[in-house]
Amino acid sequence: MTASEAPRLRVTFEILDIRELKPHEELQAPLLAKVMGEIAREGRINVPVLVEREHRVILDGHHRFEALRRLGCRRCPAYVVDYDSEDIGLTTWPGAVVDRVTKQEVLDRGLRGPLFPAKTTRHLLRERLPDSPVALRDLM
């Protein structure tokens, strides 16, 4: 496949069954508490989770996902993407325990484990996706 034939980013906004989603990273307890407090206080989630289409692996938004789950939500708003798109880049956060990671490793960790430590992978999209607030009551 040449660069011109590589899949372009196709994004759909969906409300998914929270049980379908598979994290690939662990959580940071203080950040989870902060995110959970913000979502509960506002009564909504503003930024959907980024999810890989085929296997439902979470690419970005692990703390938002877990906050919703712990708040009793049965559904989760998500931007669902084709992970093989060249418009989705992958790098690691400064201070991550690994220097490099591949998309296949992200999928493997989400499907089979073990999870990466929190804040290991950083997914970069060519264009920013808009906030799409959803009320908690609509996710219960």
Q: Would you place residue 50 in the very low, low, confident or very high pLDDT band (cuts 50, 70, 90)?
A: very high
Listed residue (83, 84, 96) closest to 122, CA to CA: 96
Q: Residue 96 maps to which CATH number?
A: 3.90.1530.10
Residue 102: predicted pLDDT: 97
**Mean pLDDT value across residues 25-43:** 98
User: Structural domain tally of the chain?
Assistant: 1
List the beta bridge partners of residue 50: 60, 79
Say if strands 121-125 and 88-92 run parallel, antiparallel, or are unpaired.
Answer: antiparallel
Inform me whether the pLDDT recorded for 42 exceeds 60.
Answer: yes
What is the dihedral angle through the alpha carbons of 20, 129, 127, 88, rounded to the nearest 10 degrees? -10
| Tens-place pLDDT, residues 97-130 | 999 999 999 999 999 999 999 999 999 999 899 9
Bridge partners (DSSP) of residue 25 are 116
pLDDT at 11 exceeding the cut of 50:
yes
Q: In whole angstroms, what separates CA 34 from the centre of its chain?
A: 17
Over range 25-41, report the average pLDDT. 98
Neighbours of 36 (CB within 10 A): 18
Amino acid at 122: R
Q: Is the peptide bond before 133 cis (omega within 30 degrees of 0)?
A: no
Q: What is the pLDDT of residue 5?
A: 56
Average pLDDT of span 75-80: 98
pLDDT higher than threshold 90 for residue 4: no
Over residues 39-52, mean pLDDT: 98
pLDDT value for 1:
45
Residue 92: give the domain boundaries.
Answer: 3-138
